Amino acid sequence: MQIFNSLTRRKEELTPLEPGHFRIYVCGPTVYDLFHIGNARPFIVFDTLRRYLLWLGYQVTYVQNFTDIDDKVITRAQAEGVPFAQLAERMIGEYYRDADGLNIMRASLYPRATESIDAIIQLISRLLEKGHAYEAEDGLYFSIDSFPAYGRLSGHKLEDLVAGASERLGDTAGKRNPLDFALWKYKKEGEPFWPSPWGDGRPGWHIECSAMSLENLGETIDIHAGGVDLTFPHHENEIAQSEAATGKPFVRYWMHNGFVNIDFEKMSKSKGNFFTVRDLAARYPYSILRFFILQAHYRMPVNFSDELLDAAVTSWKRITSSVDHLAFVAAASQDQPAGTAEENGLLEAIAACRQAWQKAMDDDLNTADAIAALFDLVRAANTAASTGRVSGQALLQARDSLIELFAVLGLDPAASAEDGIPEEITRLAEERGRAKEARDFAKADALREEIQARGYKIEDTPQGFRILPS
RNA sequence: GGCACCAUAGCCAAGUGGUAAGGCAGAGGUCUGCAAAACCUCUAUUCUCCGGUUCAAAUCCGGAUGGUGCCUCCA
């Protein structure tokens, strides 16, 4: 499988350091609020990567942190008048609710910053010993001048960054370089703090992720992923801290997803142009949100609007109704002979789909192309089903492939299967069927309307009528 | 100002050297008592523009234009 590595800006063959086992770290949410669809993109995309690697037969250790102590958490907790830990705990619960809805697999481990203080302190100590960190007025800082490779990931030249930073930030008391970033912030009045060898305080944002990755996955991991906006400074800083401390490569493949835009502008909390997944889920099924995200390649920016989501609904329905219909026709086609030309055509289409699907997934997780391959199979299967010359077994084979391959994308096209049709509706439908047999179309249509009024619809097929939720 | 990324049909979106996938929307047709669903056909001689390389360019190179992002918390 090829993956675009942000570090080298090239597609590279993806191989694990330890044969058969990938170690992945994904930057998780800062738990001060519900997450929005833009935040959801990396969760969905890298969950899909994980599912694909599992499907390929790899073992995957997948770590996603919760940043549960941070300026935003503190500010929000103060505004709500609750302890920060209480807010964080609540938001972690809310995270799980939406993430589960989006069918994002639970991580192998969810380390929290506040539970990783020891590891953070140890890491800072190592940096101090090696001369990469120093004390300033308000805390401990990382000295970027002590790490010559600084800027490599983001492609920034140090002097450009420094020039920009000096203008904006001016000189911070005791900082050696305006770009030096905080490792440990000394406590301020009214803020939570933890004891450390250097005084009470709390960790900086960047050191958290380094410490949690090193502690839980080891000094060199395979994949570290997140949104493109984390490239600088967050990931750049993580590399500097981690590699300065260990002397080893921190991450082998860096992956960054593109933004979700509104009117071609980045969706973000600070711009206020965001939709939380929670709000969207009230209007669209979670599966539609996931399907929508996966219809675009993960590195491309994607625009977001109700119109596009509506189109995704229609699009997805084409898949689910096909999967649904195939089961129905297959049940009615048990005694069809196998080996017809139509059947062989379908079997070939299944093989072609699986091949095209995997080729797309192998090419830097091209889910858009992978979905296109699945649509091709939908058409072939629908056509095959309508000929009446294909065995139920072959139809189910097509259906199983659709279900299997969509499952790797975290989607279940069989989820909307017809179950729980009320007896009353079935009775009405049967009555309509008899009226239709008797060519009493007025009565048949009246009954169909009544069924529709109750939220179901009737489809007549060569194999008989079907009742579906409308 | 510095550094990146993007530009493909009415809309969304794949495609990185061999003659434009897929979805939505639209038109016509088949099937149906009528519907619905499904299927078939049609809908970009062309990929923002201008040069260049090549037998061959949406794809590579140079330039222009437009848009976005990062450089400050941000997925």
How much is the average pLDDT of A270-282? Answer: 92
Closest residue to B36 (CA to C1') is A459
- pTM equals 0.95
Covered bases, chain B (protein CB within 7 Å): 1-6, 11-16, 21-25, 32-40, 67-75
A55 has pLDDT over 80: yes
Closest residue to B21 (CA to C1') is A372
A360 confidence band (pLDDT: 50, 70, 90) = very high
Q: Tell me the nt nearest to A366, Cα to C1'.
A: B14
Residue A465's identity, in one-letter code, is F
Q: Tell me the nt nearest to A72, Cα to C1'.
A: B73
The answer to whether some atom of strand B lies closer than 7 Å to the beta carbon of A297 is yes
| A12/B54 CA-to-C1' distance in Å | 27
pLDDT at A280: 95
pLDDT at A334: 77
| A23/B72 CA-to-C1' distance in Å | 31
pLDDT-above-70 percentage for chain A: 97
pLDDT at A333: 83
The tokens of A458 are what?
A: 């009737």
Question: CA A397 → CA A134, A249, A329, A339, distances in Å?
Answer: 64, 45, 13, 14
| A2/B16 CA-to-C1' distance in Å | 15
Q: How far is CA A36 from the centre of its chain?
A: 12
A417 has pLDDT over 60: no
The answer to whether A48 touches A409, Cβ cutoff 8 Å, is: yes
The answer to whether some atom of strand B lies closer than 7 Å to the beta carbon of A369 is yes
The answer to whether some atom of strand B lies closer than 7 Å to the beta carbon of A440 is no
The residue count for chain A = 470
pLDDT at A415: 76
The answer to whether some atom of strand B lies closer than 7 Å to the beta carbon of A172 is no
The answer to whether some atom of strand B lies closer than 7 Å to the beta carbon of A233 is yes
Pairing mode, strands A59-64 and A21-26? parallel
Write out pLDDT tens, residues A277-286: 999 999 999 9
SS3 category, A250:
coil
How much is the average pLDDT of A405-416? Answer: 92
A18 has pLDDT over 90: yes
Q: Which residues of A147-180 are buried (b: 16+ CB within 10 A; e: fewer)?
A: beebbebbebeeeebbeeeeeeeeeeeebebbbb
A161 has pLDDT over 90: no
A309 has pLDDT over 60: yes
A168 has pLDDT over 70: no
Distance between CA atoms of residues A134 and A448, nearest Å: 78
| A256/B30 CA-to-C1' distance in Å | 48
How much is the average pLDDT of A69-95? Answer: 96
How much is the average pLDDT of A352-374? Answer: 96
The answer to whether some atom of strand B lies closer than 7 Å to the beta carbon of A161 is yes
| A454/B36 CA-to-C1' distance in Å | 16
DSSP assignments along A388-401, one per residue: T-S-HHHHHHHHHH
A269 has pLDDT over 90: no
How much is the average pLDDT of A112-128? Answer: 97
Q: Tell me the nt nearest to A225, Cα to C1'.
A: B75
pLDDT-above-90 percentage for chain A: 81
How much is the average pLDDT of A165-192? Answer: 80
Q: Tell me the nt nearest to A385, Cα to C1'.
A: B38
Q: Tell me the nt nearest to A237, Cα to C1'.
A: B71
A15 confidence band (pLDDT: 50, 70, 90) = very high
Please name the residue that has the structure tokens 């139920």.
Answer: A392
Q: Tell me the nt nearest to A70, Cα to C1'.
A: B73
Write out pLDDT tens, residues A382-399: 999 988 889 999 999 999
CA torsion sign for A365, A371, A373, A374 is: positive
Q: Tell me the nt nearest to A374, Cα to C1'.
A: B22
Query: Is this prediction's ipTM beyond 0.90?
Result: yes
The answer to whether some atom of strand B lies closer than 7 Å to the beta carbon of A73 is no
**Under 8 Å CB-to-CB from A355, ≥6 apart: which residues?**
none
Q: Tell me the nt nearest to A315, Cα to C1'.
A: B23
Which chain A residues 306-345 have CB under 7 A to strand B?
Answer: 307-308, 310-311, 314-315, 317-318, 321-322, 325
A146 confidence band (pLDDT: 50, 70, 90) = very high
The answer to whether some atom of strand B lies closer than 7 Å to the beta carbon of A268 is yes
| A386/B39 CA-to-C1' distance in Å | 8
A167 has pLDDT over 60: no
| A405/B58 CA-to-C1' distance in Å | 30
A308 has pLDDT over 80: yes
A190 has pLDDT over 80: yes
pLDDT at A144: 93
Distance between CA atoms of residues A150 and A323, nearest Å: 52
pLDDT at A419: 61
A436 has pLDDT over 60: yes
The answer to whether some atom of strand B lies closer than 7 Å to the beta carbon of A419 is no
